[in-house]
Structure 1
Amino acid sequence: MRAQIIFFLLIICNFNLFVTSSKPSNYLPRGSSLTVEDASSKHLVSPDKTFTCGFYTFNDTTHAYYFSIWYTNSKEKTVVWTANRDKPVNGHGSRLTLTKHGSLVLTDRGGSIVWATNTSSVAVDRVELLNSGNLVLKNKSGKILWKSFDFPTDTLLPNQFFTENQKLISRISPQVFSPGYFSFYFDIENVLKMVYDGPEFSSVYWPNPDINIFQNGRTSYNGTTVAILDDTGALVSSDGLHFSASDVGLGVKRRLTMDYDGNLRLFSLNDTSGLWTVTWQAVIQQCDVHGLCGRNGICIYTPDPKCSCLPHHEPVNSNDWSKGCKPRFKRGCNDTQFIEIPHVDYDGFDLNFTRNISFNDCRQICLGDCHCEAFKHAIREGLWTCYTKGDLFNGHMNDESLYLRIPKRVKSSESNNILSVSRLACGGGDPKIELLPMLYNDASTRSFKWAYLYSFGVAIGAIEVVLFVSSWCIFFRKHGTLGSLEEGYRTISSQFRSFSYGELKRATEKFKQVLGEGGFGSVYKGVLSDERVVAVKKLEKVVQGEEEFWAEVSTFGRINHMNLARMWGFCSEGIQRLLVYEYVENGSLDKHLFSSSTTSTLLEWEKRYKIALGTAKGLQYLHHECLEWVIHCDVKPENILLDSDFEPKISDFGLAKLCQRDSQGLSQLSMMRGTKGYMAPEWTTNLPLTSKVDVYSYGVVILELVRGLRLSSWVVDDNVKEEEMLKLKSFVRFAQGKMQDGGDSWIDDLVDSRLEGKFCRNQAVKMIEIGLLCVEDDRNKRPTMESVAQALAECEDEVVTM
């Protein structure tokens, strides 16, 4: 009997410990962790229970988890902040730790660091979730040393200051936290704007880009750049923006979110139903948001916003309308007809506009320009005006007509029947229109289930189940099933890793052999312990803390293409920031193309064309295909490496995001630095930079491959005589003049004379034509790298003739 009483008391004690340990807390002391598996300790809850912080997943079966903050009582468990939005961690073995050194660190299975705060040098005592939804690190006296409010993702909460160094960036889709293409931020004029910044173009769409700042009710004459949403639902900004929720007043839980569909919305929470209501939105007509339907797409209302394709076009991806539509015909300059598309217009991308002109003359202007894809003839200020379109983005409905250019061989019967919106069918075939997924209409994502403690017996039963399942998992881990999964996961993760500074110091023999020096730092040759030969780049003027540096570099580590230099890892210790790349045997292109040394080997034509095509493919991947699209910002021969087979590998992509922008520390993309002579004209304007800056730089490089000389007087090699240098603009005028003169010999005057005529004429003509297009001052006239790579590939198999 006595033994039974002792056993019973032990069970009660264990139960009390279970209940105590599972009680939610709003803080985590130094040296403690939250683990992804342990349901009893994986959450922090604010004192008033409004917010919860912990590991979040969209689907338990995917094992993809995010460390996030969400509204506790919202039905959909609405996330307002995420630490690792572009790199989820595994559902087994991941943890968040407040280290003894004072850093809050998120580690993946296997211990690799995914995210961390830059607080390792301060006396952090605890991490705490406040009633405001702000996750903070405090010292023993309660002073805040770091806060999540300084690093917003896509949502602004009440009383959270929003400043010039911050952005709200949309999700890429409703159930993927990765950054999307829409952003809300203070621009270079200190005005709050919304921008679509996609793979093919970038444009401001709110406030109204057709009128100036003051007509939009804003001002750029403000000494500060700050906005704040107060507890009543009113937002006030230093640029003059002011708006209020339709249910303005105290006592309502709210959030301001940059939604994945490009609209900025203010939401209010119904405490009873747990559902959100839109109480203000920036863009009233959703089709005014740029980029929704992609190239050749049209946004229409039926009555909800939907995407459609132009006639004789079909969706690139019916599940992702931002990729737009592709023609079911091959575009050409000849064999042209025009079909009328009623009630359709495309914003921007006008090649030109001409006032007081007839319809037929407008049509002839478009016919005479191979880049013209459509034209519009409409009355503006009492005059008939002609607009020719170089690209068809931001399609929407209006009261006028667009005239689309298609080959004559394409049957136009389909388009002749287009008399109403309902006939604008996706793919130009069946009258079928796909719905744009609208975030604020979707109230069925997933329900939130609460656990209840019913009785002492149920608790004991749950403990037994946990013990049984734990034993089962341990058994299978030892016998290979779970163990093999873990090993496979570690193998994948280990392809890109963090190196210690001492490890790289030994690998480079104390940074002994310098491979080169550039704007971002010096590069050293090294050999790792596994005998891999690497190039170690020591970065200079890095402004990010460890948290931001890890986030940026981990993105680069996931990029993999045969024409991109592979990054093997990085080092971030104290002030040291280093990157570890694969070693590329033949060095950079400039050393082979511009060297006048008698010992150097002349770069043959086949290799030049191979380099032009491979570089185009690498940039195409960065701009259009990789998960995290990247603008290089510094394409030049020095950043094109050549392997043993002279296959090009682009290096330094993404580094412009890591280094000092200017003396004021501005971080806007328009402030990034490139190399003079290869920089597009947009660098000197306030226009947002797009992938077209890389197209311009590539144009300079491809013309240099043909000419064999530097085309910029800004870049002078010691081994090249000054009088041999040609400025880019002079060469462009020279080339255009030769092409207009015609004849058979004009190409010989433009190709590197050192080749002594040993080159493929068709390939040379193609490279010059592409190069001249790429260096157009108007970025809308420049081709995409996708079209450049395709054009070069068409001539790849041609051979050199004398």
Structure 2
Amino acid sequence: MANRDRPVHSRGSRVSLHRDGTMELTDFDGSTVWSTNTTGTMVNKAELLDTGNLVLRDQDDKILWQSFDFPTDTLLPSQLLTKNKKLISSMGNTTYTSGYFSLLFDNDNVLRLLYDGPEISSLYWPNPDKTVFQNGRTNYNSSRTAVLDEMGIFSSSDRTKLVATDMGLGIKRRLTLDYDGNLRLYSLRESSNGSWVISSQAPQQQCKVHGLCGRNGICHYTPEPKCSCPAGYNVSDPSNWNKGCKPLFNPTCCDQTQASGFVALPHTDFYGYDLDYIQSSTFESCKSLCLNNCSCEAFVYRLTGEATCYLKSDLFNGYHAPSFLGTAYLKLPRSFVTVETMDIPKGSDLICGFSKAEAKRRRTEWIYLYSFVSAIGVVEVLLFALGWWCLFRRHRMPPSMEDGYRTISSRFRKFTYAELKKATNTFKEELGRGGSGAVYKGTLDDNRVVAVKKLGDIIQGEEEFWAEVSTFARVNHINLVRMWGFCSEKTHRLLIYQYVENGSLDKHLFINAGNNKRGASFMNWARRFKIALGTAKGLAYLHHECLEWVIHCDVKPENILLDSDFEPKISDFGLAKLSQRGGPGSKFSRVRGTKGYMGPEWALNLPITAKIDVYSYGVVLLEIVKGNRLSDFVVMDGQEEVAKLKNFLAAVKTKIEHEEDSWVEDMVDPALKGQFNWNQAMTMVKIGISCVDEDRSKRPTMDAVVQALLECDDDPNIYTSNMFYDAE
């Protein structure tokens, strides 16, 4: 679709092929809704091929543009899905606007299904509880390509494979990511009145699709997949289950032991958003932990092998299936806890708070229903177990092997000070020190290498600190440093992060100081662009996508860490809320920030918005291009002023205004000796200039920055300028 998010009117709209080579879709009022990027080319004709591909050709029949490069929610045979393409579902069965589900190649070269809704983002296929190799995939490849062939086999470079049940030539097929989040392979059966029939799908269990029933909603089988609300909740919008269920009570933290109880939901789980998980836990201790924790909305208790307790901070991705051998216990006000145990209803929702007589009648109904469902469940479990037994026997795997229950944040937990003291060898190896505290390297009991930050001047109490860090623990993005846990014990406040091997960006970017030439090859252009793009993606996630809107307030090279592949990971996000502002010896401003990277609104006492991070990113971006500090300041006329940045901006604007062809080369780090991508460098400098505009309303959003950088991400050409360097 050319215009899925802005439909044109049925009358008066038109598609035109102009003499300048552009194909254009206009609405009834003449406004352009969509056009191809072929202006100024020698387009001679438009042609719809038998493959379904719409192409624009020149006089020599060379394809200049093709619709196969811009998929919507469907792939046709021979249409490639590659690195920068993805399928995006529709919002509904008859609503064609962009939905919340995507099929795309992740950064580890693995093809995945992602739910990216208004409140959460969550990967759900392949099975997130398993490793890449346990799922039969591989990430040991440098290509990202998938295709549906004429035989009815969809395969990709990571070993994904879907095979049509009617595999063979001569059948028309399509691969579609449907509005319910399932990826289905369809075959056109002429023998069945020309209808499309599902010939394969992934995942096999529809209720394993994340986000399907929204917040607090539960997916179950009747036998078809259906969404319901649990006790104490009511559907927010019956026409849109993405909005989930709303509570019929006002959550409170006052005297929860007396005010709260639990309703049991057998064979029900809520995937992700674990406050903590405790192995070898008794039921009563698990219940007590949730009851006394203000942030706990429910807990899931499993008895498969070793008893395990999972405390839930939010209720997303709920599903009910007899094969799940655990029970979810929802924490509700006692006025709503009218029955000891409830199962998932057959209807679309469940309203609680009824009389005891009504509760008894409903309990009887559920006993009959549950008996019927249990009988089906037993058969299902036996067949499932038999299939796995045969599979394990065939591959000689141990019969006791279990998937295990692991979520994105399952390992996030509270540490004791003694544990961290032992892990860091009494805080022996210091990795760095900043205004919010010192960071030490440590190794946990499970051999994870971590970075432990000791915070200073923290004013929050136990409960407030817990609330803050539990929020940051739910933030998850490849370009953000992962938080593994925290310690809040007496006066000690510590945060435990993943250890990032290559340290901070400043140690690599400014390595050429003092005529040290090592950095010329170490920080080549490809790495610089990768760092710029990844950092922008991380900030865009914080500003636009994550559960809690987060402003970093201290974006600088020291807070951008680089892993072994030089993938950037932003650190210290959220510390603006945890650090004491303006304390003794603080290097931060009235709120937070580092001189040279702070936007002018700090000094003007304007409200702080996400545009403060955009300004800081702009300074960092220009430093990545230039290779030296532009944030250094000097004292002029008794006042502090960022001189280098102003001089740099003045020089760039002068060269651009005078249309000097060499302005890009003049702005790039001389240590690269002309080895850089000219188009990318020009784009980065222009973005940087717009980001540091003193008028914050003129600065772009981080989403817009990401899109601008992605547009030149595919340009592989490294241009060599010998204007200043002789060949060596």
What TM-score results when the alignment is normalised by the length of structure 2? 0.51
Q: Name 1:379's counterpart in structure 2.
A: 303
Contact 1:325 1:427 in 2 (8 A): no
Distance change >3 Å, CA 224–CA 107, structure 1 → 2 = same
Contact 2:235 2:349 in 1 (8 A): no
Distance 1:713 1:250 in 2: 64
Distance 2:225 2:115 in 1: 18
Contact 2:264 2:341 in 1 (8 A): no
Q: Name 1:240's counterpart in structure 2.
A: 159
Alignment partner of 1:711 is 2:634 = no
Distance 2:529 2:155 in 1: 29
Distance change >3 Å, CA 121–CA 420, structure 1 → 2 = closer
Distance 1:140 1:181 in 2: 41
Distance 1:193 1:199 in 2: 19
Q: 2:169 aligns with which of 250, 253, 261?
A: 250
Q: Name 1:159's counterpart in structure 2.
A: 78
Distance 1:318 1:721 in 2: 46
- Shift in Å, 1:243: 2.5
- Shift in Å, 1:404: 1.0
Total equivalences in the alignment: 407
> 3-state SS of the aligned residue for 1:337?
strand
Distance 1:316 1:117 in 2: 40
Distance change >3 Å, CA 378–CA 146, structure 1 → 2 = same
Contact 2:261 2:337 in 1 (8 A): no
Distance change >3 Å, CA 705–CA 375, structure 1 → 2 = farther
Q: Name 2:337's counterpart in structure 1.
A: 412
Equivalent residue letter for 1:295: R
Contact 1:679 1:697 in 2 (8 A): no
Distance change >3 Å, CA 678–CA 148, structure 1 → 2 = farther
Distance change >3 Å, CA 282–CA 718, structure 1 → 2 = closer
Alignment partner of 1:364 is 2:288 = yes
Equivalent residue letter for 1:406: L
Q: Name 2:314's counterpart in structure 1.
A: 391
> 3-state SS of the aligned residue for 2:267?
strand
- Shift in Å, 1:261: 0.3
What does residue range 286-301 of structure 1 map to in structure 2 within 5 Å? 286-301=206-221
Can you give the 5+ residue segments of structure 2 that lack an aligned partner in the other structure? 355-361, 367-479, 481-525, 541-550, 565-569, 604-728
- Shift in Å, 1:93: 2.0
Alignment partner of 1:351 is 2:232 = no
Q: Name 2:182's counterpart in structure 1.
A: 263
Q: 2:9 aligns with which of 77, 82, 90?
A: 90
Distance change >3 Å, CA 205–CA 678, structure 1 → 2 = farther
Distance change >3 Å, CA 247–CA 202, structure 1 → 2 = same
Equivalent residue letter for 1:671: K
> 3-state SS of the aligned residue for 2:96?
strand
Distance change >3 Å, CA 101–CA 343, structure 1 → 2 = same
Q: Name 2:247's counterpart in structure 1.
A: 327
Higher RCO (CA < 8 A, seq sep 6+): 1
Distance 2:235 2:527 in 1: 39
Alignment partner of 1:190 is 2:71 = no
Q: Name 1:521's counterpart in structure 2.
A: none
> 3-state SS of the aligned residue for 2:242?
helix
Distance 1:192 1:126 in 2: 35
Equivalent residue letter for 1:712: G
- Shift in Å, 1:228: 1.2
> 3-state SS of the aligned residue for 1:269?
strand
Contact 2:267 2:325 in 1 (8 A): yes
What does residue range 19-418 of structure 1 map to in structure 2 within 5 Å? 82-272=1-191, 273-333=193-253, 334=256, 335-380=259-304, 382-397=305-320, 398-408=324-334, 410-413=335-338, 415-416=339-340, 418=342
Contact 1:124 1:138 in 2 (8 A): yes
Distance 2:538 2:33 in 1: 26
Equivalent residue letter for 2:312: K
Distance change >3 Å, CA 302–CA 123, structure 1 → 2 = same
Q: Over aligned residues, Cα RMSD in angstroms? A: 3.8
Write the deviation string for residues 145-194 of structure 1: whole angstroms up to 9, x where unpaired.
00000000000000111101100000001111111000001110011000
- Shift in Å, 1:389: 0.3
Equivalent residue letter for 1:663: F
- Shift in Å, 1:362: 1.2
- Shift in Å, 1:718: 9.4
Distance 2:237 2:172 in 1: 38
Write the deviation string for residues 79-124 of structure 1: whole angstroms up to 9, x where unpaired.
xxx1101111122321111111110111112211110111002100
Q: 1:663 aligns with which of 494, 518, 529?
A: 529
Can you give the 5+ residue segments of structure 1 that lack an aligned partner in the other structure? 1-81, 434-632, 634-659, 687-692, 723-802
Write the deviation string for residues 727-760 of structure 1: whole angstroms up to 9, x where unpaired.
xxxxxxxxxxxxxxxxxxxxxxxxxxxxxxxxxx
- Shift in Å, 1:345: 1.3
Contact 1:311 1:424 in 2 (8 A): no
- Shift in Å, 1:717: 4.6
Write the deviation string for residues 482-519 of structure 1: whole angstroms up to 9, x where unpaired.
xxxxxxxxxxxxxxxxxxxxxxxxxxxxxxxxxxxxxx
Distance 2:589 2:113 in 1: 43
Distance 1:291 1:276 in 2: 26
What does residue range 437-476 of structure 1 map to in structure 2 within 5 Å? none
> 3-state SS of the aligned residue for 1:352?
strand
Write the deviation string for residues 389-426 of structure 1: whole angstroms up to 9, x where unpaired.
00011111133221111122x2422x446256548844
Distance change >3 Å, CA 162–CA 718, structure 1 → 2 = closer
> Which of 83-92 and 353-362 deviates more?
353-362
Equivalent residue letter for 2:313: G
Write the deviation string for residues 200-230 of structure 1: whole angstroms up to 9, x where unpaired.
1111100000000011111111121111111
Equivalent residue letter for 2:252: G
Distance change >3 Å, CA 721–CA 265, structure 1 → 2 = closer
> 3-state SS of the aligned residue for 1:310?
coil
Equivalent residue letter for 1:306: K
Distance 1:720 1:253 in 2: 59
Contact 1:265 1:282 in 2 (8 A): yes
Q: Name 1:593's counterpart in structure 2.
A: none
- Shift in Å, 1:127: 0.9
Contact 2:336 2:353 in 1 (8 A): no
Distance change >3 Å, CA 676–CA 341, structure 1 → 2 = closer
Q: Name 2:698's counterpart in structure 1.
A: none
Distance change >3 Å, CA 705–CA 271, structure 1 → 2 = farther
Percent identical among aligned pairs is 43
Equivalent residue letter for 1:400: G
- Shift in Å, 1:341: 2.1
Q: Name 2:505's counterpart in structure 1.
A: none
Equivalent residue letter for 1:389: K
Contact 1:661 1:671 in 2 (8 A): no
Equivalent residue letter for 2:103: F
Equivalent residue letter for 2:106: D
What TM-score results when the alignment is normalised by the length of structure 1? 0.47
Distance change >3 Å, CA 91–CA 117, structure 1 → 2 = same
Write the deviation string for residues 217-248 of structure 1: whole angstroms up to 9, x where unpaired.
11111121111111110122111112311000
* Larger gyration radius, structure 1 or structure 2: 1
